[in-house]
Structure 1
Amino acid sequence: MKAFPLSALMAILTFASVPAGAQQEKIDPAVLTEGFLAAHPDLRWRAEGVRSYERKDYAVALAEFKRAAYHGDKPAQAMIAEMYWSGIGVAMDRPLAYAWMDLAAERLYHDFLVRREGLWSALDPAEQQDAIARGQALMAEYGDDAAKPRLDKILRRERRRVTGSRVGYVGNLTIVPFTGPLSGTGMTLTGDQYYAPKYWQPEEYWRLQDTIWKAPLKGRVRVGDLENVPAAPANPPAKDR
């Protein structure tokens, strides 16, 4: 079974990657300070996981991706699935890999959905039943019904701490990004830019995530075309998932 390679998935885990034609809807690298990432544990732990993975410190990377996944980060959930599927830093576990990819595809983001169906078609019937059974506990802990409220609470709490938030303006901020291509460089942003609703209001933040991730990877990855994933057979009945 062919699938998008791990190198492509790793490429899109960085904050600068956005769908073609949606440049206005992205996370500005300039805002990625320590304080910003502390208030966005989904992004923080995804970034930490990427760095650990690139160092080949896979056990640490897996733990960090799980912390991001705990706060609803779908790319981190997809990365966990790939690590279990390929046995990278962990014992290969195909049913568990499918269960994690099922989580990643929960919001019907295109390529995570396609990858999920590809994994399903590669499982034998016993593995499929095992994946369904084990996925229930994962969904209860990491699915959106549990994960989104965790992050919503943090976003609202941190936004309330902003000086001047009642008037909607907090002056100019000197920003030193924590990660990404602008890491370590200083610049000035207005408070309105740094505390834009799309970063701090839960409903707007989840809408931003949907915009970033709904497009196919082929329109976003800069490292070359992806391999084609064959169409999966009919889905298992929804009640069995």
Structure 2
Amino acid sequence: MKRIAALLAGAWLAAGAVAGEPGERRRGPDPEVMGSAGFLDAHPDMKWRAHGVEQWRKGAPERALEYFRRGARHADKPSQAMLAEMYWTGQGVERDRALGYVWMDLAAERHYRTFLLKREQYWAALSDEERARAIEVGGDMYEVYGDVVAKPRLERVLRRARQRMTGSRTGFGGNALKVEIPGPDGRMRQIDGSRFYDPEFWEPERYWAWQDEVWDAPPRGSVEVGELEILRTPDAPSGD
């Protein structure tokens, strides 16, 4: 399980604020902002990945699989890498190494080093029959989950969410834009709009550039875990 645990640790890290030495890499979203429903609903890649990580840690891989698939539809490469590992090892789904390779090939589409290395390891381990099947099904997978279609899918969500929220959930205090988000007690409160609408996480080109910086050189470290213990088998999550 070390292979899955390492990817899972990275997925969890990028779901929240990005750690690192000052000046080494860009910061992640403001933790308070990112915890708000409005921000996560506008960033389904982060939202579904975070839900997937949560279910994985609870020992519910079948449910995690569905959440990671939703993140994968919105161009989330860590979600695609987690799906690759789950299919490769048969965690939460029937083992299918050919499909596992295709998912890792998708995760490596932007040439992130960690995922590229995994992809090559997978390919070397496949049989000739598995390689042929991976090539056969790969085209259809790219038509749904490849960046050409998945990135615009996320960008549409970003645009709709920003238009909706600026039109209905903002106010002005002096010359500063204010945004209402739910606080820890569930009550709405105002924060500085510049914190919520940081262009780095709302303008598609800057958002993709931030992801490239995070995942092209992920934080180093080691994770030691035992075998995963399946605690329960939940129903599949509802909703899209």
Q: CA deviation at 1:110?
A: 0.9
Q: Which is worse superposed, 153-162 or 101-110?
A: 153-162
Assess if the C-alpha contact under 8 Å between 2:16 and 2:29 holds in 1.
yes
Residue 11 of structure 1 pairs with residue 13 of structure 2: no
How many corresponding residue pairs? 213
C-alpha distance 174-60 of structure 1, shift in aligned 2 (>3 A):
closer
Q: CA deviation at 1:176?
A: 3.7
Aligned partner of 2:82 among 61, 79, 82: 79
Aligned partner of 2:177 among 164, 170, 178: 170
Aligned to 1:135: 138
Whole-angstrom CA distance in 2 between matches of 1:155 and 1:172: 16
Aligned partner of 1:117 among 120, 134, 138: 120
1:147 corresponds to which letter in structure 2? Answer: A
1:170 corresponds to which letter in structure 2? Answer: L
2:108 corresponds to which letter in structure 1? Answer: A
Whole-angstrom CA distance in 1 between matches of 2:51 and 2:76: 13
2:137 corresponds to which letter in structure 1? Answer: R
Q: Which structure 2 residues correspond to residues 58-77 of structure 1 after superposition, within 5 A?
A: 58-77=61-80
Assess if the C-alpha contact under 8 Å between 1:16 and 1:29 holds in 2.
yes
Q: CA deviation at 1:174?
A: 5.5
Whole-angstrom CA distance in 1 between matches of 2:17 and 2:113: 16
Q: Let me know the Cα RMSD of the aligned residues.
A: 2.7
Whole-angstrom CA distance in 2 between matches of 1:154 and 1:169: 25
C-alpha distance 191-17 of structure 1, shift in aligned 2 (>3 A):
closer
Assess if the C-alpha contact under 8 Å between 1:12 and 1:221 holds in 2.
no
SS of residue in 1 equivalent to 2:109: coil
Q: CA deviation at 1:221?
A: 4.0
C-alpha distance 72-139 of structure 1, shift in aligned 2 (>3 A):
same
After the TM superposition, which segments of 4 or more aligned residues of structure 1 sit over 4 Å from their partners? 172-175, 186-189
Assess if the C-alpha contact under 8 Å between 2:30 and 2:195 holds in 1.
no
Q: CA deviation at 1:28?
A: 2.8
Normalized against structure 1, the TM-score is what? Answer: 0.79
Aligned partner of 1:192 among 175, 194, 219: 194
Assess if the C-alpha contact under 8 Å between 1:25 and 1:211 holds in 2.
no
Whole-angstrom CA distance in 2 between matches of 1:38 and 1:55: 23
Assess if the C-alpha contact under 8 Å between 1:85 and 1:92 holds in 2.
yes
SS of residue in 2 equivalent to 1:24: coil
Whole-angstrom CA distance in 1 between matches of 2:83 and 2:194: 35
1:68 corresponds to which letter in structure 2? Answer: G
Which structure 1 segments of 5+ residues have no match? 178-182, 225-241
Which structure 2 segments of 5+ residues have no match? 225-240
2:32 corresponds to which letter in structure 1? Answer: A
C-alpha distance 111-187 of structure 1, shift in aligned 2 (>3 A):
farther
C-alpha distance 70-9 of structure 1, shift in aligned 2 (>3 A):
same
Q: Deviations over 1:17-58 (max 9, x none)?
A: 647443433233222211111111111111111111112221
C-alpha distance 175-109 of structure 1, shift in aligned 2 (>3 A):
farther
Whole-angstrom CA distance in 2 between matches of 1:141 and 1:222: 33
C-alpha distance 10-114 of structure 1, shift in aligned 2 (>3 A):
same
